[in-house]
Amino acid sequence: MCGEMENTEWNFRPVSMSDDTDSTAASCYLDEKTFRLSCGLFLEHSSFLNDGWAWEEVNGSEKEGYMKKTVMVPCRISSTPCQSNQSRLVDGDDALLEEEQLCDQDEAVGEPTAAEGQAAVRYEYHVLYSCSYQIPVLYFRASTLEGRSLSLEEVWNNVHPNYQQRLLQGPWDTITQQEHPLLGQPFFMLHPCRTEEFMRPALETARAERKGVNYILTWLSVVGPVVGLDVPLSYALAVGPPAPKAEATTAASTASASASTSGPD
Amino acid sequence: MLANSFLNSEKDPDFRMADGSTVKGPGTQKLQFAPFCSALEAGFWHQLTQKKLNDYRLDESPKSIKGYYYNGDPDGLPTRLTLEFSAFEVDGPTPVRCCPATGILYNTNTLEAFRSIDKKALLDTEASEIWEAIQSNAALQNPSILNKFILLTFADLKKYHFYYWFCFPALGFSEGIQIIQEPVLLSQKFSPKQISALQGAYDGLCTTNNTTAVPYFLIKYTEEDVTAAPLQEWEAFFTDLKTVTVGVYDPCTLPQHPGWPLRNLLILIASKWGAQVDLVEVLCYRDRTLQGTRSVQHSIIFQVKLPDLSASTGCPKSVGWEKNQKGAMGPRSVNLSECMDPKRLAESSVDLNLKLMRWRLVPTLDLDKVISTKCLLLGAGTLGCNVARCLMGWGVRHITFVDNAKISYSNPVRQPLYEFDDCLSGGKSKAFAAVERLRKIFPGVQNAEGFNMSIPMPGHPVNFSEETLGQAQRDVEQLETLIAAHDVVFLLMDTRESRWLPTVLAGSQRKLVVNAALGFDTFVVMRHGMKRPPGESAESSPSSSTGTSSSSSSTPGPATLPAASLFSNIPGHRLGCYFCNDVVAPGDSTRDRTLDQQCTVSRPGLAMIAGALAVEMMVSILQHAEGGYAVASSSDDRMNEPPTSLGLVPHQIRGFLARFDNVLPASLAFDKCTACSTIVLEHYEREGFPFLSQVFNSSHSFLEDLTGLTLLHQETQAAEIWDMSDDESI
């Protein structure tokens, strides 16, 4: 993840430098500890809601991990790429492997009815901490039930036409393919270069209103819907920022001010 | 309401007819189950590949694996049994609120073994194990035994093609199961109070068992209360056996059918208590959360009458092999080369990285035009290596090298495609070694080719023998063919005269030529003027201007281009070539020179700078609608609206490293040019090789006489005019 896009990073960095000198401006950055704590609070509510988020440790180590959610989306066989020919036929000699003698599923629901129309695409969302950008990054991939990953074009084709128009102007153009830094598998990533654009106003508003903000929640509720990930409204009421003592890097005075008005309950 | 519409859609006439049991009212209908649909995560295939390569190797013996299923899906999703990368850790955790299913993996070494393995026998073995577990009560203690599966795989790891076939063994009643009360939604049968009590009872059971999902459970309910118990407490829990209610964690979402896991449970009940039990009420427990709201009221509930199996000793018949995507009894297959083949991954990453430029910074960038450009690199030395690397950076796939030199010890430090080992035993041929390295750096460069050949040069005679003459002719033909097969020709050689032949050939073929040449701390990168295609009426060549060395050239250009002056707004077809500024023809520049004059002695950074600029200039030219015919941008245009999405399209970039400065001069084609003037091109096109060999074999006076340079020399000397006017500075 690190160092891939010096160019963008460079555009992004100068803002942070000015942040360091101007203590009144809200910082768009997040240290890893706060990331973990914010995720923890988010996960707590998710498990309360049964919303499907979980913390995945990598190689069983406490140190590395990410927040993950899998969502299945039904799709029609005929109209979608999830069952396209290239995905299932590898040689075209499948027919040779068929065995009629096994055909006696008397009590099964007639497969044509049950299986036709009942294909699905699996969307997998990962929230990772990026050390180089010092912010959370959303990775995702979509795959068929056979395990084949969809190309970005196929993912795009699965987006409802009503949304396509809007997304073209929005942050869809920041989606890029990257190797998952922890799994080493190809994933799509919402590039962090636009994060500051929407986090700064949100954080500044919250600061002005002396409200505590859970960075993960605010961020995810903006970037999630872009790639079909919903964040139920009840998170906003239930999930606050980590307790002030945990915010090691925040100036003590401002942290306590923001936390005293609204803490996690 | 939603439920009703689903019920209706389920009464699909085709379905009923295919089944043979049309609507005859309750009591005669047989219960049908929605089979599992296998669902594999990419991670599973990655892990299987690792296991096959590192652990299993040729071992075909059965391996334990693990999958899971979930009862919280929204409507419309198929009933799935999912295997992910963790499938190989049988003792690992099951995802929250999911039920585990254990399986046996048979990974064969060949497609033939996959084909010939006896599927019926595999199924029978598993089925009798389930039957044994029922008889021995082991299934009561550990009901997940009822949900076993078999997975047959063959992994073609050369192509990243995977063949697989799942089996979900289910024992069956030969006469089917009679429905007594048709399935209804739980909300139609239970009051809200009962539903919430049921939820509480189920959650309590999970807590007691220290899990988050229970596959099978027993239920008793009254108007006021609902209680639940684990399967093994059957005898103690049910006092009245006339009608019992069992709960099954149901992964199906169909409103009329239970999922597969119920099948073996009903066999168990019929075998254990078939003699006593009259009616079985089945709750297909479905528990989902949508937008943060939990719901179980869409669970379905129905009553069936089970045949009595308590007396039977033999294992009932079994089914379970999954149909493929075509609905036939056959394996499924998936091609994962796109996400697993490292070469494919490298290619898509390179392309996606380039697309980033378009997405974020230059939306109108035409990348395909760049990527599909065929580039001929004449010279695989310092400049050639750097140009090639930069072309790869732009995703160019078609790169051809021409060079006749071998790699020497001094090369690798400046020529980034070579290493020390390439210099040993006399050194590898540069053209071949460069191609080899390109493929190593990026296998996506499929069309890389090297030609170890010399380029005949003016003043370097080729007429020593028939053989040398023949060789020169073949070299010329080869070069003509190569230039014809490419879109852009890069001149990256270390001598001036070796650039003459390709300048003539490419000029005649109207190919874009990008030329880079180095001094000690100065360089020039330029595109050659591209003459109009032969068919088009050539506008009168600027014969009035006699080149940069003459003061008479300050007269304005032809009337057709009022805005064009000598140095600005020069269209591509009137731009000069590398030789246009010369008043002497190219000759043998290495003769009578000391070693340091023969070699390219330049500051090491210069070739990288010039090589990169040459490629970037090509890319900018390609982005211009008129390509090589684009009007030349000059230093004065730096403040104006750029002609392409990437900026200016200059004629020349002249760099001065001592001052860290570049200028962008543009100059007109010279009508007495020894390479690109009409008279030279016409002679070449008319006479071909005989004309060229005359140039190679003669001294420079031949070309000078032909183009009129000799005459010009005599005139200028006679007049002794050397008035370099002040305004002629760059």
**pLDDT at residue B21, rounded to an integer:** 38
* A211/B411 Cα distance (integer angstroms): 64
Residue A265 lies in a domain: no
Q: Any idea what the CATH number is for the domain that residue B390 is in?
A: 3.40.50.720
Residue A6 lies in a domain: no
Same domain, A105 and A57: no
**pLDDT at residue A24, rounded to an integer:** 44
Mutate to test the interface with A, among B250, B317, B339 (most CBs of A within 10 A): B339
Q: Sheet with A186-190: list strands edge to edge.
A: A54-58, A61-75, A119-130, A135-143, A186-190, A175-179
Any A CB within 8 A of B321 CB: yes
- ipTM of the shown complex: 0.71
Closest CA to A111 of B164, B323, B80, B321: B323
Chain B nearest-CA distance from A74, in A, is 5
Q: What's the number of domains chain A is made of?
A: 2
Residue B367 lies in a domain: yes
Tell me: the pLDDT tens digits for B345-362?
A: 888 878 877 877 876 688
Any A CB within 8 A of B294 CB: yes
Chain-chain contact of A232 with B291 (C-beta, under 8 angstroms): yes
* A92/B578 Cα distance (integer angstroms): 57
Mutate to test the interface with B, among A146, A173, A187, A190 (most CBs of B within 10 A): A146
Residue A10 lies in a domain: no
* Three-state SS sequence of B255-317: CCCCECHHHHHHHHHHHHHCCCCCEEEEEEECCEEECCEEECCCCEEEEEECCCCCCCCCCCC
Q: What is the DSSP string of B587-619?
A: --SSTT--HHHHS----HHHHHHHHHHHHHHHH
Q: Any idea what the CATH number is for the domain that residue B52 is in?
A: 3.40.140.70
* Three-state SS sequence of B87-100: HHCCCCCCCCCEEE
Same domain, B162 and B182: no
Same domain, A192 and A128: yes
Chain A nearest-CA distance from B93, in A, is 12
CA B140 to centroid of chain Cα atoms:
50
Domain region containing A162: 23-79+119-259
CA B61 to centroid of chain Cα atoms:
35
Question: Across the A/B interface, how many CB contacts are shorter than 8 Å?
Answer: 204
Q: Which of B257, B334, B348 sits opposite A109 (nearest CB)?
A: B257
Cβ(B282)–Cβ(B268) below 8 Å: no
Residue A13 lies in a domain: no
Of A114, A132, A157, the residue that ends a domain is A114
The mean pLDDT value for B672-680 works out to 94
CB proximity under 8 Å: B 105-134 to A: 114-115, 119-120, 123
Same domain, A33 and A148: yes
* Count of all residues that appear for chain B in the document: 730
Same domain, B168 and B212: no
Q: Is the pLDDT of residue B17 over 90?
A: no
**pLDDT at residue B40, rounded to an integer:** 93
Chain A nearest-CA distance from B573, in A, is 36
A186 chain-B contacts, CB cut-off 8 A: 339, 345, 348-349
Lowest mean pLDDT among A158-172, B264-278, B366-380: A158-172
Question: Is B599 annotated as catalytic?
Answer: yes
Cβ(A125)–Cβ(A227) below 8 Å: yes
Residue A4 lies in a domain: no
**pLDDT at residue B356, rounded to an integer:** 74
Chain-chain contact of B42 with A97 (C-beta, under 8 angstroms): no
Lowest mean pLDDT among A100-109, B80-89, B694-703, B707-716: A100-109
Same domain, B371 and B312: no
Chain-chain contact of A106 with B319 (C-beta, under 8 angstroms): yes
Same domain, B617 and B693: yes
A185 chain-B contacts, CB cut-off 8 A: 42-43, 46, 339
Domain region containing B107: 37-172
pLDDT interval class at B207 (50, 70, 90): very high
Chain B nearest-CA distance from A106, in A, is 8
Chain-chain contact of A74 with B38 (C-beta, under 8 angstroms): no
Chain B nearest-CA distance from A181, in A, is 14
Any A CB within 8 A of B327 CB: yes
Burial B88-104 (b: 16+ CB within 10 A, else e): beeeeebbebbbbbebb
| Dihedral of alpha carbons B433, B438, B443, B445, sign | negative
B74 chain-A contacts, CB cut-off 8 A: 72, 74
Tell me: the pLDDT tens digits for B286-329?
A: 999 877 788 999 999 999 999 988 887 789 999 999 988 888 88
Same domain, B72 and B125: yes
Of B288, B318, B348, the residue that ends a domain is B318
Same domain, B149 and B238: no
| Dihedral of alpha carbons A237, A39, A253, A194, sign | negative
**pLDDT at residue A109, rounded to an integer:** 62
Q: What's the number of domains chain B is made of?
A: 3
Q: What is the pTM of this model?
A: 0.72
Alpha carbons within 13 A on the beta-carbon side of B692 = 27
Same domain, B153 and B198: no
Residue A99 lies in a domain: yes
Chain-chain contact of B339 with A91 (C-beta, under 8 angstroms): no
Chain-chain contact of B289 with A151 (C-beta, under 8 angstroms): no
pLDDT interval class at A228 (50, 70, 90): confident
pLDDT interval class at B7 (50, 70, 90): very low
Chain-chain contact of B324 with A118 (C-beta, under 8 angstroms): no
pLDDT interval class at B641 (50, 70, 90): confident
pLDDT interval class at A96 (50, 70, 90): low
Q: Any idea what the CATH number is for the domain that residue A182 is in?
A: 3.30.1460.50
Residue B110 lies in a domain: yes
Candidates A39, A75, A103, A193; catalytic one: A193
Any A CB within 8 A of B357 CB: no
Tell me: the pLDDT tens digits for A98-156?
A: 666 665 555 666 443 444 445 889 999 999 999 888 999 999 999 999 999 888 878 87
Cβ(B147)–Cβ(B174) below 8 Å: no
Chain-chain contact of A185 with B254 (C-beta, under 8 angstroms): no
Chain-chain contact of A106 with B172 (C-beta, under 8 angstroms): yes
Same domain, B157 and B205: no
* A102/B123 Cα distance (integer angstroms): 10
Same domain, B215 and B312: yes
Lowest mean pLDDT among A76-80, B149-153, B498-502: A76-80
The mean pLDDT value for B73-94 works out to 92
Same domain, A108 and A219: no
Of A65, A98, A114, the residue that ends a domain is A114
pLDDT interval class at B181 (50, 70, 90): very high
Mutate to test the interface with A, among B46, B167, B264, B323 (most CBs of A within 10 A): B323
**pLDDT at residue B360, rounded to an integer:** 66
Residue B448 lies in a domain: no
pLDDT interval class at B544 (50, 70, 90): very low
Residue B698 lies in a domain: yes
Mean pLDDT of chain B, nearest integer: 87
A141 chain-B contacts, CB cut-off 8 A: 42
Same domain, B184 and B157: no
Chain-chain contact of A115 with B329 (C-beta, under 8 angstroms): no
Same domain, A108 and A222: no
Same domain, B235 and B264: yes
Any A CB within 8 A of B30 CB: yes
**pLDDT at residue A89, rounded to an integer:** 38
Chain-chain contact of A147 with B40 (C-beta, under 8 angstroms): yes
The mean pLDDT value for B506-510 works out to 97
Candidates B423, B599, B673, B676; catalytic one: B599
Chain-chain contact of A149 with B96 (C-beta, under 8 angstroms): no
Burial B434-468 (b: 16+ CB within 10 A, else e): bbebbeeebebbeebbbbbbbbbbbbbbbeeeeee
The mean pLDDT value for A8-14 works out to 36
A101 chain-B contacts, CB cut-off 8 A: 120, 329
Cβ(B356)–Cβ(A194) below 8 Å: no
Question: What percent of chain A lies above the pLDDT cut of 90?
Answer: 16
Same domain, B83 and B185: no
Same domain, A191 and A89: no
**pLDDT at residue A101, rounded to an integer:** 63
Same domain, A33 and A158: yes
Cβ(A61)–Cβ(A246) below 8 Å: no
CB proximity under 8 Å: B 360-389 to A: 360
Q: Is the pLDDT of residue B649 over 60?
A: yes
Amino acid at B557: G
Burial B52-62 (b: 16+ CB within 10 A, else e): beeebeeeeee
Q: Is the pLDDT of residue A173 over 70?
A: no
Of B172, B195, B211, the residue that ends a domain is B172
Name the more confident of A227 and A17: A227
**pLDDT at residue A254, rounded to an integer:** 39
Residue B348 lies in a domain: no
Q: What is the CA radius of gyration of chain A?
A: 22
Of A58, A92, A114, the residue that ends a domain is A114
Of B172, B194, B223, the residue that ends a domain is B172
pLDDT interval class at A203 (50, 70, 90): confident
* B316/B173 Cα distance (integer angstroms): 7
The mean pLDDT value for A184-205 works out to 82
